[in-house]
Chain A
């Protein structure tokens, strides 16, 4: 039996959800294929959304019409702004989620979405056909039960499920994550189509029972007293503020880990995959930072109705008995009971140089990939890709120009450019340091930056777009008042802020209040921050832009589609290989590929020009 859809999304994780909802909102008949409908939106690891770099992504997703921001606002139980003491460009929102509420909200959204059908099942393979020129295109998905679903656009968001294998100590089980079957066949199918696959790994920490913890001994980390929502559309924001607790490993636990390191699959070689450097397992940390006598741990509640506490910082695949010993050696956790043990999962990923900027694969027309399957790590990174893939699949059906964001305007742009250009050898996580335009790409101005795209994409309704415009206008008005003359020069001093200016000028305070009085209270702080930062940073931003502009000329130097790299003996073989794989569109993109040196670029530049002459 063949059902036909405009777009099929495989996988109900964070990427799959955004992709499916976006596609459906653009009026396309969309199917979401997932093993278990009730598991849609599951947070298998950290019960939190946002953080450094990630929070920036969520703000952009929200401003484009994605759902992650809204849902976490509804279901979050603690909200904090991180890096408040550092600077406005690196400040980012983060929230602890009630995992079950988050998931339930996502399921509701998906069920209620017009044009969207959920198909509970296992995607076992892809159907493709070749045209006269030999170019492959996708025509459908084969389900595990034998059914076929037809479509010319398939978005694969399989997360960690491809060839998924979980490890706890010496016990290995097949599965994409705890309690879920892995997708073996799909991996094989991709390999058959010619995709190169690479094994990656990621780990997750144990969950402890809250009643078994001696919280008196631990330091409390409360939420912000004046929390800020993620979504610019959230109103009447009055979330819960549940505390987290801070604990730390100690020498005893470290010694235990070291003594049993050979029982850790990460070290015993059982796991081949490369893991994330910045979310290392506790085994990694203890070995690599041997001089540190303690590592910080955050104990985070997983929900209001659940006793499970997530031990952030203790990602591990050590055997159960060692996990217990290590935890029990920590003050406050002496009698901790394990609800779940930590485990590592290794999975097949599709190295991201195999997709275009639109996230369509180079090998198979109409096949898009998004999320952890491309080698990223994190719900937010996955959601951003899902949104882009979903939108682009829909746009391509109506022959409209795709959504391509630049590095200079958004973190999503940085993410995608990095994915298609750089060689991802370990799970990719967003950091603010990845963005050369960091001073401009802030959380406070994400609305302004995304607005032109939001208007074109059509994922938001008129009232929402109108509000975004209103917010931008409010910030403009504030800037007009604050920028000129004495006020501006004072504000530009590092020690001054709008607040300090107001304290010496009640008149100014009055005027500013009037300007923002029509805005919802949740947005006032953000708008003021945007105005203040834009003024303070204008000089630095334009200076940075000027410098980068000189580099950006390299982005104007296009490399022809049919440029052949193989014969270029002048360039190092490593560079040649990477160039041939990535097939950069411009010299600028080539300059961002690891392993391509400046001498290689100089040579490439001359050759490209020479090609233009002859």
Chain B
């Protein structure tokens, strides 16, 4: 982390081929750096903020021309970081962007660290912590749904939802404390019935938020889909057929005992992540068994399990699993007697394409895609941090209700309620905890 006296620069746009690349410079010397790389009248004397200039970027040492670019000065505090910022939009291509950046570095800027621009934006009060988090999400959002969720959070949707839960609890807390301070004489304090009502409705609200939290994780991380079935059930063919032209997006998950291939698939704006399982790769030393069960690891991953029943063989017994399940028949083109298999949701053929559209539709229904979209828009999609705090608050809230019903002393109730409020407060930012900072800024990469 550099001191705010240092002017930083970095390429703000992702690498790769693109029409425009942006190099961002922020700090007290941003304008000076700009002047050093671009000889333009508009950068001398009274610089007009947010007024774009077109100029030639030259390397300050040697004067070698780099690119014709748009130079946009933004004077503090009205910039992203709250400091003086100059954004140089140059012609795309990694090479050009790098040359422009080099020029800036030679002109006096220092290379920015990951997330440094956003960190400065936060330190200068331009972004709240929640909003900084949302920026990270927005950057990482690789589908429409997450983007929408991140945007809604950026606009304060989450805070509003939680304030609705917090406010009556804060009021109740004040009343409880008041009743403890005024002794036996004055009958001040909330009556039992209204107190229980507040607990009940708070629990309901938190439960709703948490239900949507599951939606939140699905939005952020993608729906984890696991294919399960006997060897040679045609899982790999189905896997490939589902991906279709989207095969281009393939991640390799390193760091495990064997490389697992997962592929991402986008259906109706929702990201599904299909996972390789034991049966998919022909693993020679696997013991064959009539029934097929998920390994614990696979089960832990799964939001949705596709139980693949080959339609050209004997019916398979699948073990129960806890996630949502779709029973999918494969090799429908080779099927003879469909009456053998009951409870099938859809019959598919990787070869002919039969049933694939229907399968995709069923997958979105299975995770209630419609609801996921609504959640995203309302900004109720929750990060892991939010979810953990809310879950802790929920547990305490349930305990609180239980204790109130058992007529536990008011001082204990007040103490438990403080705990609930502390948990909630951490999510809304009312209560400060060091956890927040670390989590938020670790997710950034350079240039943001």
Contact = CB atoms under 8 A, between A and B. Distances in A.
A599 B411 contact: no
A591 B124 contact: no
B437 A606 contact: yes
Nearest to B185: A296
A585 to B, nearest CB: 17
B436 A602 contact: yes
Interface in A556-614: 557, 569-570, 591, 598-599, 601-603, 605-607, 609-610, 613-614
Contacts of B128: 599
A494 B409 contact: yes
A123 interface: no
B180 A90 contact: yes
A240 interface: no
Interface in B398-413: 403, 406-412
A84 B129 CA distance: 45
Contacts of A598: 429-432
A88 B409 CA distance: 9
A495 interface: yes
Contacts of B119: 606
Contacts of B434: 553-554, 557, 605
Interface in A49-65: 51-53
Interface in A82-125: 82-90
A540 B123 contact: no
Contact of B177 (A433, A439, A537): A433
A52 B411 contact: no
Contacts of B403: 494
B49 interface: no
Interface in A529-565: 537, 540, 543-544, 547, 550-551, 553-554, 557
Nearest to B435: A550
Most buried by A among B3, B125, B412, B433: B412
B407 A86 contact: no
A87 B431 contact: no
Most buried by B among A82, A544, A602: A602
A432 B177 CA distance: 9
A87 B407 CA distance: 11
Interface string B111-155: 000000001001111001100000000000000000000000000
A86 B430 contact: no
B415 A439 contact: yes
A317 to B, nearest CB: 24
A436 B412 contact: no
Most buried by A among B125, B406, B407, B416: B125
B292 interface: no
Nearest to B419: A547
A89 B185 CA distance: 18
A254 interface: no
Most buried by B among A544, A598, A601: A598
B21 to A, nearest CB: 30
A438 interface: yes
A338 interface: no
B1 A431 contact: no
Given A436-B418, A599-B129, A601-B432, A494 B408 contact: yes
A53 B181 CA distance: 8
B432 A87 contact: no
Interface string A39-56: 000000000000111000
A83 B414 CA distance: 15
Contacts of A547: 419, 422-423
Interface in A125-160: none
B416 A432 contact: no
B186 interface: yes
Interface string B90-128: 000000000000000000000000000001001111001
Contact of A52 (B3, B181, B408, B416): B181
A494 B129 CA distance: 41
A495 B3 contact: no
Interface string B289-300: 000000000000
Nearest to A568: B123
A544 B418 CA distance: 9
Contacts of A296: 185-186
B130 to A, nearest CB: 10
A438 B411 contact: yes
Contacts of A432: 180-181, 411
Given A296-B186, A598-B429, A599-B129, A551 B1 contact: no
Interface string B420-443: 001100000111111111000000
A307 B432 CA distance: 55
Given A86-B411, A494-B408, A602-B122, A544 B177 contact: no
Interface string A277-310: 0100000000000000000100000000000000
Contacts of B283: none
B195 to A, nearest CB: 15
A470 B177 CA distance: 35
A82 B119 CA distance: 52
A173 B271 CA distance: 80
A610 B3 contact: yes
B183 A83 contact: yes
A551 B433 contact: yes
A439 B125 contact: no
A599 B410 contact: no
A265 B431 CA distance: 41
B184 interface: yes
B413 to A, nearest CB: 9
Contacts of B129: 599, 602
A135 B184 CA distance: 51
Nearest to B430: A598
A570 B432 contact: no
Nearest to B174: A433
Interface in A210-257: none
Given A554-B432, A570-B125, A87 B411 contact: yes
B5 to A, nearest CB: 11
Nearest to B189: A86
Contacts of A544: 415, 418-419
A536 B3 CA distance: 52
Most buried by A among B181, B418, B423, B430: B181
A550 B412 CA distance: 20
Given A602-B432, A602-B436, A86 B410 contact: yes
Most buried by A among B180, B186, B408, B410: B180
Nearest to B413: A87
B412 A537 contact: yes
B8 to A, nearest CB: 14
Given A89-B411, A439-B415, A602-B129, A82 B183 contact: yes
B393 to A, nearest CB: 11
Contacts of A493: 406
A110 B128 CA distance: 58
Interface string B159-195: 0000000000000000001001101111000000000
A490 to B, nearest CB: 14
24 contacts: A83-B180, A86-B180, A86-B411, A89-B409, A278-B181, A436-B418, A439-B415, A495-B407, A540-B415, A540-B416, A544-B415, A547-B422, A551-B433, A554-B434, A570-B124, A591-B432, A598-B430, A598-B431, A599-B128, A602-B436, A605-B434, A606-B1, A607-B123, A610-B3
Instruction: Give 8 closest A-B pairs by Cβ, nearest first.
Output: A87-B409, A87-B411, A598-B432, A433-B177, A601-B432, A494-B408, A89-B411, A90-B180
Interface of A: 51-53, 82-90, 278, 296, 431-433, 436, 438-439, 493-495, 537, 540, 543-544, 547, 550-551, 553-554, 557, 569-570, 591, 598-599, 601-603, 605-607, 609-610, 613-614
Given A605-B434, A606-B437, 5 more contacts: A82-B184, A86-B409, A433-B180, A540-B415, A599-B125
Interface of B: 1, 3, 82, 119, 122-125, 128-129, 177, 180-181, 183-186, 403, 406-412, 414-416, 418-419, 422-423, 429-437
